[in-house]
Amino acid sequence: MNRPMMHVVDPSTGEADPAAIQRAFDAQLSTSLAWRTSTAAERITRLKKLREAMLARREDFYQAFQADYHKPASEVEGTEFMPVLDEVRHAIGDLRKWMRPKRVWPTMTTGGTSAWIEAQPRGRCLIVAPWNFPLNLCFGPLVSALAAGNTVILKPSEMTPRVSAVMVSIIRELFREDEVAVFEGSLPTSNVLLSLPFDHIFFTGSPAVGKVVMAAAAKHLTSVTLELGGKSPVIIDETADLKTAAETLMWGKLANCGQTCVAPDHIYVHESVKDAFVAECQRVIGERYGRTADEQKASPHFARVVNQRHTQRIAGLLDDARARGARILQGGEVDIGTAFIAPTLLDNIPLDATIMSEEIFGPVLPIIAWRDLDAVVREINAQPKPLALYIWSHNKDRTRRIMAQTSSGGVGINHCVLHYAHGNLPFGGVNNSGIGSAHGIYGFKAFSHERAVLKSGPVMVAKLFFPPYTGFKPKLIRTVVDMLKLPKLF
């Protein structure tokens, strides 16, 4: 069923009409109230519709991703379709269990009552999606929001306009604007949306913009989930399987042209195996993308940087590092006009180089030799907490030590990036790299209020604590307080 095109974009500015945004937001109030009592079957029906519409537009997405940033069709399948469809499958299979009220035991001080926790939809939600995985990071949270029974306004990225156009078409085909609405635009559109008193905001993007979103949400005391990023480090010790490490890390780093929030940002490798590791990385790059810049440019397997502005930013990081003495081990070629940066390995990077403090978000990888693990841990802890930390080692004690002495959103041991795709794990950052978690039940909870419910039994024990505090009551209250020193039995 075709829906009316209600969401007008001003052709002179490319921004959504503020009046249309307000109209959709107001219209979603009554629907969000009605959807509080929506059944699992009703929510599952919405998810199935979304899944079928995505699959029906598969070829359109291939063409859109190719046009926006030369993304290979197999990467569209593996990094865009696969995570969203896994979210749908997970939600359909487990939604009834997630929605079921959870009974809890009474505590020592709440005897005579029964209690449970019920998941209640938050209400009207805003999802602001980034450009690096425009389908995955827009429709993935949408799946969680719909599973939890919410209405949604989506704001896709203006930097991938062709992919956004396909998503807009799908949403307007499937949903009324009082259910799910979508608005295109850039900063002015985002500012209008952030000025509204949503019940929850789910934002994926940079820490800098995340602070802006959190400040805007604070004005309305709106809850937030912030999926941010940061400089995710890798530690490789002398016991690691270097061949597997290189093959895996080059996949994690160079998929999507390095524009991945959990991509390895820089590698600390033990000095005794550094040369061997670099040689393995060079082998992998040559086999997968070509041995020269021209071959890599012509490769159908290597995406592009999203636009020329971001290409210039990454090229600036590379130029700054080289000017400070960094050495290029592999790659280094840049073509601003085609948004191409060759897969690049850097060595001898001084700590004051900008590339060591700014998230790279591109196909450039600093490789740093280490001898003293404590010094590596100190360097990691001196930076904001990253979204991911990757450890390549067969020394279990050393692995446990690194994990105990560092903090990150997630950890990969002899692997990288894949923890993002594990639907039974919470995906999220810590402090600078994010607030809250997503995926599976954690995404459902992000878009739900866990409502505490307590019901009195036939005998209200609490009356024994009501004033006036005469007779035996003072002694009873003091005795109960003293009993709280006893161990908890269940």
Active-site pick, 179, 227, 280, 359: 227
DSSP helix/strand/coil, 310: helix
Interstrand relation of 223-227 and 434-435 (parallel, antiparallel or unpaired)? antiparallel
Do 413 and 402 meet the contact criterion of CB atoms below 8 Å apart?
Answer: no
Closest to 149 measured CA to CA, from 43, 257, 301, 276: 43
Q: What value does the CA radius of gyration of the chain take, rounded to a whole number of Å?
A: 26
Those residues whose C-beta lies under 8 Å from the C-beta of residue 329, and which sit 6 or more positions away, are 278, 282, 345, 346, 347, 367
Taking alpha carbons only, the member of 167, 196, 194, 192 closest to residue 182 is 167
Helix axes 161-174 and 58-69, enclosed angle (nearest 10) = 150
Quick check: is 77 catalytic? no
Is 261 considered catalytic here?
Answer: yes
SS3 299: coil
Residue pair 99/441 in contact by the 8 Å Cβ criterion: no
Residues forming beta bridges with residue 115, ordered by sequence position: 104, 454
With CA atoms as reference, report the closest residue to 331 among 285, 269, 277: 285
Bond into 468 cis (ω within 30): yes
Cα–Cα distances in Å, from 181 out to 157, 171, 201?
15, 7, 14
On whether the CB atoms of residues 422 and 450 are closer than 8 A, the answer is no
The DSSP element (H or E) to which 469 belongs, if any, is: none
Residues 251/286, Cβ–Cβ less than 8 Å: no
User: At residue 143, what is the residue type?
Assistant: V
Closest to 462 (Cα-Cα) out of 486, 480, 483, 482? 480
- Please tell me the distance from the alpha carbon of residue 168 to that of residue 183, in angstroms, as a whole number: 8
DSSP letters of 216-276? HHHTTT-EEEEE-----EEEE-TTS-HHHHHHHHHHHHHGGGG--TTS--EEEEETTTHHH
Per annotation, catalytic residue among 125, 257, 261, 416:
261
The number of beta carbons lying within 10 Å of the beta carbon of residue 125 is 30
Q: If you ran DSSP here, which 8-state letter would residue 461 be given?
A: G
10 Å Cβ neighbour count for 100? 12
Measured CA to CA, the distance from residue 189 to residue 184 in angstroms comes to 7
According to DSSP, the β-strands at 364-370 and 334-335 are unpaired
Q: Is there a contact between 96 and 324 (Cβ–Cβ < 8 Å)?
A: no
Task: Indicate which residues carry an active-site annotation.
Answer: 227, 261
